[in-house]
Structure 1
Amino acid sequence: CLALSLLLKDKVSFPGSQVYRASLGSYFSLQQAQVNPLCIVAPQTTEDVSTAVRALTTPAPTCQFAVRSGGHSSFSGASNIQGGITIDLRALDRIELSQDRSIVSLGVGASWGSVYSYLDGLNLSVTGGRSFGVGVGGVSIGGGISYFAPRYGWACDMIINYVVVLADGSIVNANQDENPDLLWALRGGTNNFGIVTRVDMQAFEQGGIWGGVVYHPISTVDEEIAALSEFNTPDTYDDYSSLISSFAYSGANGISLIINSMENTKGVVKPPAFQPFANIHSLGSTMRMTNMTYLSMETEAMQVNGLRYASATLTIESTIEAINATVCAWNASVPFIQDIPGIVWTVVLEPLPPAIYARHAEGNALGLTGRQGKPLMVMMLSMTWSNAEDDDRIGTEAKTLMKEIEGEVSRLGKLDPFVYLNYAASWQKPITSYGEVNVDRLLRVRNEYDPRRVFTKYVPGGFKIQK
């Protein structure tokens, strides 16, 4: 830390300072905010990142460090480190549009909300995250599901260039012409190769969006499951319509709800794709003509910073039977967690049709090839609670529920091996789920660009490449 402070001056903060406290306080989850590094480095340029990395790894790495952009990963140590050095990239937040309006360059410290605030006024958008405060960095290297995914694929598929600081401090581009193997690996291979400081992303024309949230009583669950399966039928899938269905239990009022986030990015009011849901009794709705800035604010409002959060994930085929097994297992688990203070216990189901996963399957590391056009669904178990003393119990109940869902869906023959990295729990192995061929290729790329394995051994946060 002292060496870094000599090199980077006031860009290094120490425990007790206001800058240090503000950095920790900006993490999404309390588990991350309560991790205390020896110092925090806040680079303002890619060259600053290079200076920091070179200091940490020359002549040989001796100190563990963490790297964060938005700090939205929830588990302890994902992008912070106890007793090590945390590199906080939030000052790398520049947003620049190319003269022909086709490419937007994003510093990884920018939030998606700030990106949309910039682009909405220009009638442009990008395949970014859906919550205002989520950082550009993690979404860009972990996959990234957006409201525009059915039209364009994963967020990482729309990135044509990454600017990366490698373990020796060198700065490289990863694109189709320079380091194309690194470009492929960063599309889902996350933080195993270097520190991404900027992404250049394809932009597209975008007008108003019809979207919002619709609330349904849990008594409509059978209708909801049928509508959800029908929505995700490949032959009739509407590439302009996006859906997230949440089955949520809130301990504060002791009730369960179904919450549908629905967006039509063509601006069609009440499109046919959403008709099955329109026929279901609802309790309230925020559906209106809007834009990405306000939609991301709405999502953000449902996820207050500074609580205890966790998530876990798996992927199912979106048949009525598989969806029903998932929701039934969630419902049966509620009595085991309902007395935990502050509990919100939610199963989230997101359609993953071939329009998303197969569109650029060979161009990313996610391994979603050979599915024969099956409609899939990403399931996330999302958990919020109040007290650290319940952490172990939450973890146990989460593993129990995930094992139950996995078993029930497997018995139906409808479990897909894919584990979405950006929703994964610390105990899951998302990169392994990409398949042996892709894992072997990722290892080769890692060995080429990080032969000392600095980002494997000395950056313990996130998910590592494992056979």
Structure 2
Amino acid sequence: MPLLGLLALALHHALADTCSSVEETTTIEVSRPLQLSYIAEQQEYWSTSCAALTPTCIIFPKSAAEVAVVVRILNENSENFAVKSGGHNPNNYFASVEGGPLISTQKLDQAMLNQETGIVRVGPGNRLDGLAAKLQGTGWTFVGGRIGNTGVGGLVLGGGLSYMSAQYGWSASSVVEYELVLPNATVISVTATDHPDLFKALKGGGNNFGIVTTYVVQAYRQGKVWGGNLFFARTPKTDAKLLKAVRDFTEYNTDDKAAVIVTAERTNVNLVDSWILFLFYDGATPPPGTFDNFTSVGPLLNDCRTRTYADLMAFSNWVIVPLSVVTIGTETIPLPSANHQDVMTAIHAHWRNVSSTVLAVPGVVASIAFQPFPKRIAEAAREKSPDLIDCDADAHRMILEINYSFVLPSDYERMANTMQATYGGIREKVLAWQRDGTLPDVYLPLFMNYGFFREDYFARLRPESRALARQVAASVDPDGLFRSRTGGWKP
């Protein structure tokens, strides 16, 4: 080919967008707007605000090699992009993109179990309910999250809180190997001995280091489980009893197989004002008394029963609020002592006060979930593997998950400010309580999987953890492909 022809071809590839280049030079599946697979994938988001962003195309690689081809093409242009597992993260641009390629891991849905060792090779395209169904009947379980619709990819990269975390730590704690496509399009294996700093950074470091195409995880033996929900009408007496019960459970529970989530929820003009509890026991029946402090409060409905873990994961999807914009934020607090139950009361009252200001917003659902973070979770995580979260067992803690969902995109800025006022006000109270000795002055990392985009996840890690993440990101991504061209928190 003449020199001018070669130059023209090179210029074409340099200027061509990723979608066109993948279509013209590979056999990787690419879907464009108005095609059914594009429309279907765009509907698979927790929040309609993410679904409203329109990628130029959606790319569906089926292997690490195909992901590497896409990453190599991305390096030849300057387009923004996003990588999507389950689409559970509601922050715009974290797993969604406007006017660039969306890389869907939907086809990377392998789940290959070694029945003897319990080692599972899991693709990021799996959702927790689907993965539980694939493992059903094998006697093994994966340490996943609590909502079945959640994608494996984002869950594990953010750490992953599980009903089984007191036994086994974070979801990420059980990852023994990552198959990773680096920003330079090289495919590598990352383990505790091969690339140990990168191995640690991937556990709680988000999407800053490349695209994970396989998680090799240690599964654990499991038979039938027990779990479900309790529903309560909200009254001041119920508030006091349930807030005390979840505080006491966090401190006094000694059975690592037991877990709870205690959620207050309200909707438009208080049409619904309730408490919803999620109870779990990793066994067919909890020992007598395990959850008495909750069941004795008098639920209107109790659907807890013995079932398979796959059934529990599938059942959990009732919590999804369809056709809504969703925002999620978080705070971590030290567990107050039994003498300072007023801390729990004040946090709940703050949430009620702030959420009261938006109860006229169309379709609003506001909730705050009190999630125990006992010392045992930190101990179990450290026993398994180092991670960026690096939480100590110096104190019991509690993770708060704050949700606001609503219908109209035009309400987004107002609701984002409401979210910030909610978690920001809690943070101010906690700092004041720490200054006056009401609460202990302990390390309080944010939980990435619940983080709102305005929160600074990496600033709340230990300085050495943030420094490690920054150093690893600079090493594997010197040109800033993931730092500057895709969303998410950056170290």
Q: Compute the TM-score of the two structures, normalised by the length of structure 2.
A: 0.90
SS of the equivalent of 1:151 reads: helix
What residue in structure 2 maps to residue 463 of structure 1? 489
Corresponding residue pairs, total: 459
TM-aligned CA deviation for residue 356 of structure 1: 0.7
Is 1:349 the equivalent of 2:370? Answer: yes
Q: How many Å apart are 1:358 and its aligned residue? A: 2.9
Is 1:378 matched up with 2:399?
A: yes
Deviation digits for residues 181-239 of structure 1 (CA, Å, limit 9, x no counterpart): 111110000110100011011011101111100012222110111111110115x4320
Q: Which residue of 2 aligns with 1:36?
A: 54
Distance across 2 between alignment mates of 1:455 and 1:344: 34
Counterpart-to-counterpart distance in 2, 1:349 and 1:230: 12
What is the deviation of 1:121?
1.3
Q: CA deviation at 1:10?
A: 5.7
What does residue 50 of structure 1 align with?
A: 68
Cα offsets for 1:2-53 (capped at 9, x unmatched): 1111233461122222222121111221011000111111111111101100
Partner in structure 2 of residue 211 of structure 1: 227
1:264 to 271, 281, 295: 281
Deviations 1:47-85 (A, max 9, x none): 110110011114xx4222111111111122111111111
AA aligned opposite 2:390: G
Residues 326, 409 of structure 1: 8 Å contact kept: no
2:388 equivalent to 1:365? yes
In the TM superposition, what is the alpha-carbon distance from 1:267 to its structure 2 partner?
2.5
Residues 316 and 322 of structure 1 are in contact (CA less than 8 Å); yes or no, is this contact kept in structure 2? no
SS of aligned partner of 2:96: coil
When Rg is computed on C-alpha atoms for both structures, the one with the higher figure is 2
Q: Which residue matches 1:332?
A: 353
SS at match of 2:351: helix
Relative to structure 2, which stretch is displaced further, 354-363 or 281-290?
Answer: 354-363
Amino acid at match of 1:404: G
Of 25, 41, 44, the match for 1:7: 25
Q: Choose the corresponding residue for 1:395, options 407, 416, 422.
A: 416
* 199, 211, 223: which one aligns with 2:241: 223
1:286-320: CA deviations, max 9, x gaps? Answer: 11001222212222111144321001101012222
Match of 1:255 among 266, 269, 272: 272
Quote how far apart the aligned CAs of 1:253 are: 5.9
Q: Which amino acid aligns with 1:141?
A: L
Contact 1:421–1:431 (Cα < 8 Å) also in 2: no
Task: Look up the match of 2:318.
Answer: 301
Alpha-carbon distance in structure 2 between the residues aligned to 1:322 and 1:165: 46
User: Does the CA-based 8 Å contact 1:141-1:189 persist in structure 2?
Assistant: yes
What's the TM-score once normalised by structure 1's chain length?
0.95
CA contact (8 A) 2:165 2:380 kept: no
| Among 462, 465, 483, the residue aligned to 1:435 | 462
Q: Distance in 1 between matches of 2:267 and 2:140?
A: 37
Unpaired segments ≥5 residues, structure 1: none
- The alpha-carbon deviation at position 442 of structure 1 amounts to 1.1
Partner secondary structure for residue 163 of structure 1: strand
Long gaps (5+) in structure 2: 1-18
What is the aligned-residue identity percentage?
Answer: 25
Once the two structures are TM-superposed, the CA of residue 360 in structure 1 deviates from its matched residue by 2.9
Structure 2 CA distance for partners of 1:335 and 1:305, relative to 1, 3 Å: closer
| Deviation by residue 1:145-170 (Cα, 9 ceiling, x = unmatched) | 11110000000000001110001111
Cα distance in 2 for residues equivalent to 1:10 and 1:19: 14
Q: 1:448 aligns with which of 462, 472, 475?
A: 475
Indicate if the aligned counterparts of 1:30 and 1:309 stay in contact, CA closer than 8 A.
yes
